[in-house]
Amino acid sequence: MKKLFKILGITFGILAALIALIAAWVQLTPLPTYEVKPPQVTIPTDSTTLERGKKVAELVCAHCHLGEDGKMSGRLFTQASDPFGEMWAANITQHPTKGIGRYTDGELAYLVRTGINRDGRVVGYMMCHPQMSDEDLGAVIAYLRSDAPMMQATEKEYPAPAYLNSFMVKALLKFGIFKPLPYDGQPILAPPMSDQVAYGRYLATDLFECSTCHSASFETLDMITPENSPNFMGGGNPVPDEDFNIVISANITPSKEHGIGNWTKEQFVTAVRTGLRPDGRILKPNMPRFAVLSDAEMDAIWAYIQTVPTIDVPVVATASK
């Protein structure tokens, strides 16, 4: 008996020491850094592509990076009470040291595709667009480098994100559970506009990310194959606005009872462009206004939405925040 207790005691002692060692390794050693493999990107200079870049940058990047000064100076993105702690969306004006002046075109492209910044650090998935086409990415970069007023250099600088000191995030990164998105440098082409449903899918998932907000939650998204995200287009995601007020995203599948199955195309287009619902309610600002999308783009998104599997259950908030 005595011998058994002794063996058990030693075993537990060794186990406890091992756990303490692993915890110390997680907490005290530096975070992993990843190789940056900037692709060759062609940056167009024609005015049509610049217009396209303006549209994408103002709908996508500005959603998080637009500062109170009306420039891409960045803003508070998550509060201290967030599970990941306080985080600031960076200054991405053209400032040579505080903005994207320090980035090459290839490094910017690599960041948008994978979430790895030029120092090899992971900067969170929420801003990644792994499937944004080469053409659109080139257009965005062209706009970021243009003389647009929104891009003029400002001095704003922010503290490093709190999550870099979080034990949980360190553990996730060090055990490889949380990995940067893969990008093999192969060209990425958008489907042609003539293939309406495929083009609509590209706009609604890869480019303008309707599915990012309109699936179950940001935490359970499948960034590579958005259709695999739980409750794809069925809503339920608690989406914060700029003042951190939460609104649960809507079911935009063709469900007649719980989605937009009874809406006409015109009603859909009005809601997405202006925020006006068919019943007269104005959607909360948590739903961006896609006012600048062309008729052809709206037609494609509408055509695609008709093909999305219907989710026939009421929207439930799947996460609490």
Query: Site for ligand HEC (CB under 6 A): how many residues?
Result: 47
Beta strands 238-240 and 246-248, pairing class: antiparallel
Give the distance, in angstroms, between the CA of residue 42 and the centroid of all CA atoms in the same chain.
23
Beta bridge partners of 122: 116
Tell me: does residue 249 bind ligand HEC (CB under 6 A). Answer: yes
Tell me: does residue 290 bind ligand HEC (CB under 6 A). Answer: yes
Sequence length of the chain is: 321
Tell me: does residue 95 bind ligand HEC (CB under 6 A). Answer: no
Tell me: does residue 287 bind ligand HEC (CB under 6 A). Answer: yes
Sign of the CA dihedral with 193 first, then 197, 202, and 205 last? positive
Helical packing angle, 265-274 and 295-305, nearest 10°: 120
Which of these segments, 46-54, 182-190, 222-230, 284-292, binds ligand HEC (CB under 6 A)? Answer: 284-292
For residue 1, what are the contacts with CB-CB under 8 A and spacing of at least 6? none
Query: Residue 94 or 249: which CB sits closer to ligand HEC?
Result: 249
Tell me: does residue 289 bind ligand HEC (CB under 6 A). Answer: no
> CA-to-CA distance for 169 and 186, rounded, in angstroms?
30
Is the CB of residue 286 less than 8 Å from the CB of residue 240?
yes
Give the distance, in angstroms, between the CA of residue 112 and the centroid of all CA atoms in the same chain.
9
Tell me: does residue 142 bind ligand HEC (CB under 6 A). Answer: no
> CA-to-CA distance for 257 and 312, rounded, in angstroms?
7
Tell me: does residue 148 bind ligand HEC (CB under 6 A). Answer: no
Tell me: does residue 139 bind ligand HEC (CB under 6 A). Answer: no
In the complex, the smallest distance separating the C-beta of residue 43 from ligand HEC, rounded to whole angstroms, is 13
Tell me: does residue 172 bind ligand HEC (CB under 6 A). Answer: no
Question: Contact residues for ligand HEC (CB under 6 A)?
Answer: 60-61, 63-65, 77, 87, 89-90, 92, 100, 103, 111-112, 117-118, 123-124, 126-127, 129, 140, 161, 204, 208-210, 212-214, 239, 247, 249-250, 252, 260, 268, 271-272, 277, 283-284, 286-288, 290, 301
